């Protein structure tokens, strides 16, 4: 460990480091769940609240970083090139991931021997998910990337919509040139 890292650790007591807190909370949750299952279940709102707090700020953060990222590149062609490379890489690696899942499933046979009788399964528990799935076709999905209103994307927090609006805003700002820098400066801060 470097002297400065050590120093910064000394300055901050360990219980103030976020991941230590998260770890402690996980351990505490497990213990509580074993000892007092009902009390533990009653704690759920705290966890949900924490996640909601974090998600609340995701949309503005993503919006600002993407706008700044595009505006900082200045050149629309470069944005396209980086985006293209990113998407190409995503597709290749995602396909790898899909194939890995397939091969592992083939080789390990995780479900073999269960011999589940489908009629005994509780369909109701999954019907909510299947209904939701049935309502999302590819075209709906693509159209859904375009938000109802410009600020609607940020208000709803749909991350794809936020991304879409942010990319457009970034392009617009970089097309404006120097005139566009005051708004980008706001996002920088």
Is 14 a binding residue for other proteins by CB under 8 A? The answer is: no
**Residue placing its CB nearer to other proteins in the complex, 18 or 34:** 18
Closest approach, Cβ 35 to other proteins, in A, equals 20
Please, which of residues 100-129 interact with other proteins by CB under 8 A? 100-102, 104-106, 109-112, 114-116, 118, 121-123, 125-126, 129
Rounded Cα–Cα distance for residues 177 and 174 (Å):
5
CA distance 35 to 38: 9
The string of DSSP codes covering 45-111 is: HHHHHHHHHHHHHHHHHHHHHHHHHHHHH--HHHHHHHHHHHHHHHHHHHHHHHHHHHHHHHHH-TT
Nearer Cβ to other proteins (65/181)? 65
Based on the shown chain and the rule CB under 8 A, indicate whether residue 153 belongs to the binding site for other proteins: no
As given in the structure block, the two tokens for residue 72 are 């900082």
CB atoms within 10 A of CB 65: 14
Residue numbers 69-88 binding other proteins by CB under 8 A: 69-70, 72-73, 78-79, 81-83, 85-87
Applying the rule CB under 8 A, the residues between 16 and 45 that interact with other proteins are 17-19, 22-23, 25-26
């Amino acid at each position: 460990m470097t002297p400065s890292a050590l120093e910064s650790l000394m300055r901050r007591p360990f219980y103030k480091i976020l991941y230590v807190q998260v770890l402690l909370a996980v351990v505490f949750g497990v213990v509580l769940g074993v000892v007092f299952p009902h009390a533990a279940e009653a704690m759920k709102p705290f966890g949900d609240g924490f996640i909601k707090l974090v998600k609340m700020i995701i949309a503005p953060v993503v919006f600002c970083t993407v706008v700044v990222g595009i505006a900082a590149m200045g050149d629309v062609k470069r944005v396209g090139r980086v985006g293209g490379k990113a998407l190409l890489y995503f597709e290749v690696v995602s396909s790898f991931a899909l194939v890995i899942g397939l091969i592992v499933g083939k080789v390990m046979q995780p479900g073999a021997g269960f011999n589940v009788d489908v009629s005994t399964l509780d369909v109701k528990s999954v019907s909510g998910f299947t209904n939701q799935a049935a309502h999302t076709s590819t075209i709906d999905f693509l159209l859904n990337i375009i938000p109802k209103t410009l600020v609607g994307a940020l208000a709803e927090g749909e991350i794809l919509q936020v991304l879409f609006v942010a990319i457009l805003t970034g392009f617009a700002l970089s097309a404006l040139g120097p005139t566009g820098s005051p708004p980008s400066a706001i996002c920088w801060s």
